[in-house]
Amino acid sequence: MPSYKLTYFNFAGGRGEPIRIALHAAGIEFEDERLSFEQFGEMRLGTPFNALPVLSVDGADISQTNSLLRYVGKMADLYPTDNLQALYCDEVMSVLEDINHKVGQTLFLQGEELRLAREKLVDGWLPVFIKGLDKLLARGGGEYFADNQLTVADLKAFVQVSSLRSGLLDHVPTDLVDRLAPALIMHQSRIEADARVVAYYASRS
């Protein structure tokens, strides 16, 4: 078994958290390196694309969240073997990356500039993504996004919906997803209650 180190920021969300959950579900021992923003600043230029997460496999650094999720998902039986179901899973993860990208563009704004940028998201892209994800969940049968079982797409959606409802994103109403897509809230609860997710958070406490 190779040695694994996952490097990400020190919080239970963002692009890194679904990878941590999937690694734990796979039963893979890994070094869970959690950086402060200051520490990241010091090593940023040493990462493959000046960004996190980075998974180091036997000392070789590999980037790109969804690629990492697919890799770990295959080892954790959380990635479909059927090609069409894998495509469904990938589509969902790409939409969630689009959300990360749009929200990420606002993360370092402040004051009025932040308010305007976030309101633009709330009136524009976020409803498009949320309603679109609602349809993709219905396509998957309503309980999971693909394969009629838990996949890495569900883990990523769970982390994203939790973040959007958390109140940590200023000017994003915490009930935005509730109003637009109640099925995504039920999905969040379903994934949160999954034994593998419960076991991961129990291991953290």
Number of residues that bind ligand GSH (CB under 6 A): 11
H or E stretch covering 23? helix 17-25
Q: Which helix (H) or strand (E) holds 9?
A: strand 4-9
Which is nearest to 146 in space by CA: 156, 154, 135, 157? 154
Classified as helix, coil or strand, 166 is: coil
Q: How far is the CB of 162 from ligand GSH (least distance, A)?
A: 15
The Cα–Cα gap between 154 and 159 comes to 9
Choose between 3 and 50: whose C-beta lies nearer to ligand GSH: 50
**Site track 26-65 with ligand GSH (rule: CB under 6 A), x = hit:** ------------------x-----xxx----------xxx
Minimum gap (Å) between residue 143 Cβ and ligand GSH? 27
Residues in Cβ contact with 95 at an 8 Å cutoff, skipping those fewer than 6 apart: 129, 132, 133, 136
The phi and psi torsions of 8 (rounded to 5 degrees) equal -155, 180
Nearer residue to ligand GSH within complex by CB, 66 or 181 = 66
156 touches ligand GSH by CB under 6 A = no
Tell me which residue has its CB nearest to ligand GSH: 51
C-alpha distances in Å from residue 175, one per residue of 24, 71, 125, 195, 196: 30, 33, 16, 26, 27
- The footprint of ligand GSH on residues 62-121 (CB under 6 A) is 63-65, 97, 104
Q: Considering only CA atoms, which of 59, 51, 61, 50 is closest in space to residue 16?
A: 51
Shortest distance, position 91 Cβ to ligand GSH, whole Å: 15
The residue (of 66 and 194) whose beta carbon lies closer to ligand GSH is: 66
- Contact letters (x/-) for ligand GSH, 7-26, by CB under 6 A? -------xx-----------
Token reading at 151 = 């996949």
Binding residues vs ligand GSH (CB under 6 A): 14-15, 44, 50-52, 63-65, 97, 104
